Structure 1
Amino acid sequence: MRVMIVEDEKPILDLMARLVGQHPSLTIVGTFTSSAAALAAYEEIKPDAAFLDVEMPRMGGIELADKLKAIDERVQIVFTTAYPQYAVEAFRVSAVDYLLKPVTPDAIERVVSRLSKNHALHSMPPPHAAATEEPTVRCLGTFETRLSDGSLMSWPTRKTEELFAYLLVYPNRIAGKWHLADLLWPDLDESRALHNVHNTVYRLKKALREAGIAVELTHSGEGYDLRKPPIFTDLELFRDFMKGAASIDEEKAVEGTKLLISSRGALFAGKDYAWSAGLEAEIFQQQASLASKLSDYYRRSGDETAAKEMLRAYLSYAPLDEKMNAELLRLYSKSGELGLFRSHYDKYAGLLSEELGLAPSDQIREMMKELSIN
């Protein structure tokens, strides 16, 4: 993990740099004796975590943390101080830990364990990362098929790709040829539409065979049947998980977190398949349910940083969800993260006005009003 250290006393800064630099999991990307200098350099060095002295002139560590969080919500904060009375205030800005001076190697080891856990949560590999356990096809937030070398599948026609998409979301069952004709070519007469079905099925089978994609597309009676191996699409992984996600325990939280972060959004995002609208709404509802359950689990476990991360992950592709925005703002308010509350409120209100011509709900506006009064 990349870390920065901010400490106004140079001897203590040098000591912290030695302690932090000795740990194999940490790489120091910047040391600063002033908050202003650290803030100015932040965008360039982009640390994963920041060790901040609480008591510094002009801009203390807690104020600096609030500004850093407004720039990057994911940065992890560790405070250092000789005065334990700052602990409550420090944790109001979602500090990962609080180290009393003089800082020891054991204290660094303890905090690295917590940092590493959060870093793993924030640093999931991209959905197309090559791995044998990764699905071949991504349907959530995109629609892409990867070959064994990691390159993208190239389709002969857009309808060939769309036919593949339809067969994937309704696998292992017969798709009637007349149904496919009406679904994919609703504006053509029956004979031309059926002719297109036959040609597109041929192109699809040829493209899959040449690409070495391990699926079987067969003609059966009046339709076509697609058979695929397990763990072929991220959609089926998500669906299978949600079947057993009535309650979330520690094991399910780990798996669910990976699925939520890697899903990246709507079913077949960017493809605009008319027939998938109902299924897209169903998946969105399930994604919201998962984000809410995971957030509740982490909050009950005392990890509000992870709870907020689950809400942010979902809102990154469903930014107008009123219930989830309200919950995230409530958590920001509860933890005293005023900068994050205001920046998120402004972003949400602006998007709501621009997209729908609406204002935030009475509940959300009341939270903003209370924050302004206090």
Structure 2
Amino acid sequence: MLRVMIVEDEQPILDLMERLVGEHPLLQVAGAFTSPIAALDRHAELKPDAVFLDIEMPKMGGIQLAEKLKEQNEELQVVFTTAYPDYAVDAFRVHAVDYLLKPVTSEDLERVAARLLKLHVMRSALRPAVAADQEPIARCFGTFETRGSNGSLINWPTRKTEELFAYLLAYPNRLVGQWHLADLLWPDLDEDRALHNVHNSVYRLKKALKDAGVSLDLSNSNDGYRLQLSPDFSDLERFRDFMNRTAEIDERNTAEAAKLLRSHAGSLYGGKDYSWSAGLAAEIATKQAGLARMLTAYYRRIGNRSAAKETLRVYLLHAPLDEEITGELLRLYAEDGEAGSFRAQYEQYVRGLEEELGAAPAEEIRKLAAAFVHKATEA
């Protein structure tokens, strides 16, 4: 799925574009703006694969905005929307993928989406992948640990220093305000003392990383901090990079996807009780489930049912109460007549729900179990 940012200064047209893009199965709205200045400011944070830009906008036109965005990401795919076809020549000056004449229709979007996806797949295939055996410096799945250049774990001077690093890893390549960090990490302290703690913790963080031989671009500007990261620095960034550039699993990325599913399992930061991380942890968990579903769908598509079941079992090791994935695995067992595996998985799921949540399986899963037992009894 491609992440798309939309910039259109007329709100009704922006709403239309947001709806059309949001309804397309291959596209996801990463951000929608009436202000080109706001879009430029948020671009690095949102990391879209493509942008739909209105050409005629006040303060900064679409052509100028495209040039500035391309300076930040030369691989960004640009599509212009305009009521004036005479702009086509200017549009292709900035290597635009295409341009759409207003009013944009779903048929227009379908044509452009196909081109965007084709170019995205081609570029992904040419992009050098991170070495499969290269361990990331920071591990964020199922634990939270950072290793120095000699492979030893970094012992942080304070718990807040560690939490500060966790937050910067969670939101890299964007400016994080110092007052925001003060409120986030020291909400009970007065402003001056909280801000002093921010500066002190940043100093300690940089020193700890330097002493461990870890080179990191952590800069201070405009009363805030920005941590620049490459996709191979942390397992979290590696996972995000794969998910952002992958619309579906096929023979070219199956091995990488299977490795990611196994090595990027467990809760974010090992379930550390950071007050700010609950929403992000839920978002990552949803993407982990999405990866398992995509990989399972690929294996089913090529007829490798054993690999499909193994994929679901691997995921459920770390998320045993996931109702949708459990149901999918039970259906596969039922379809293949694997009574023993079906019974063991179902009973394990029932026990887990009762012990952890004091709940019973959903009606759909109970019906599935009843139907399978009835069929097995008749046989």
The alignment's TM-score, normalised by the length of structure 1, stands at 0.63
Distance 1:265 1:308, change over 3 A: same
For residues 259-317 of structure 1, give each alpha carbon's deviation from its aligned partner in whole angstroms, at most 9, with x where no partner exists: 11101222112312111111111111111111011011111212111101111122112
| Higher RCO, 1 vs 2 (CA within 8 Å, ≥6 residues apart) | 1
Task: Say if 2:144 and 2:270, in contact at 8 Å, map to a contact too.
Answer: yes
Distance 1:131 1:369, change over 3 A: closer
For residues 36-88 of structure 1, give each alpha carbon's deviation from its aligned partner in whole angstroms, at most 9, with x where no partner exists: xxxxxxxxxxxxxxxxxxxxxxxxxxxxxxxxxxxxxxxxxxxxxxxxxxxxx
Query: What secondary structure, in the 3-state scheme, does the structure 1 residue paired with 2:361 have?
Result: coil
Aligned residue in 1 for 2:284: 283
Aligned residue in 1 for 2:316: 315
CA distance in 1, matches of 2:244, 2:225: 27
CA distance in 2, matches of 1:277, 1:290: 20
Aligned residue in 2 for 1:98: none
Aligned residue in 1 for 2:332: 331
Distance 1:186 1:214, change over 3 A: same
Amino acid paired to 1:368 = A
Is 2:173 aligned against 1:172? yes
Per-residue deviation, 1:131: 8.2
- The aligned length equals 245
Query: What secondary structure, in the 3-state scheme, does the structure 2 residue paired with 1:217 have?
Result: strand
Aligned residue in 2 for 1:219: 220
Aligned residue in 2 for 1:162: 163
Amino acid paired to 2:223 = E
For residues 294-344 of structure 1, give each alpha carbon's deviation from its aligned partner in whole angstroms, at most 9, with x where no partner exists: 011111212111101111122112111111100011111112221111111
> Aligned ranges for residues 292-303 of structure 1 at < 5 Å?
292-303=293-304
Is 2:352 aligned against 1:351? yes
CA distance in 1, matches of 2:302, 2:154: 42
Per-residue deviation, 1:132: 6.8
Distance 1:309 1:145, change over 3 A: same
Aligned residue in 2 for 1:48: none
The alignment's TM-score, normalised by the length of structure 2, stands at 0.62
Return 5+ residue gaps in structure 2 as ranges. 1-130
Per-residue deviation, 1:142: 1.4
For residues 156-192 of structure 1, give each alpha carbon's deviation from its aligned partner in whole angstroms, at most 9, with x where no partner exists: 1111011011111211222111000001011111111
Task: Say if 1:214 and 1:228, in contact at 8 Å, map to a contact too.
Answer: no
Aligned residue in 1 for 2:9: none
Aligned residue in 2 for 1:53: none
Aligned residue in 1 for 2:272: 271
Aligned residue in 2 for 1:9: none
CA distance in 2, matches of 1:236, 1:230: 5
Kindly report the root-mean-square deviation, in angstroms, between the aligned alpha carbons of the 2 structures: 1.7
CA distance in 2, matches of 1:218, 1:305: 49
Amino acid paired to 1:315 = L
Task: Say if 1:141 and 1:266, in contact at 8 Å, map to a contact too.
Answer: yes
Distance 1:132 1:208, change over 3 A: farther
Q: Percent identity?
A: 61
CA distance in 1, matches of 2:328, 2:349: 13
Task: Say if 2:230 and 2:237, in contact at 8 Å, map to a contact too.
Answer: no
CA distance in 2, matches of 1:185, 1:273: 12
Look at both structures and tell me which one has the larger radius of gyration over its CA atoms: 1
Return 5+ residue gaps in structure 1 as ranges. 1-129
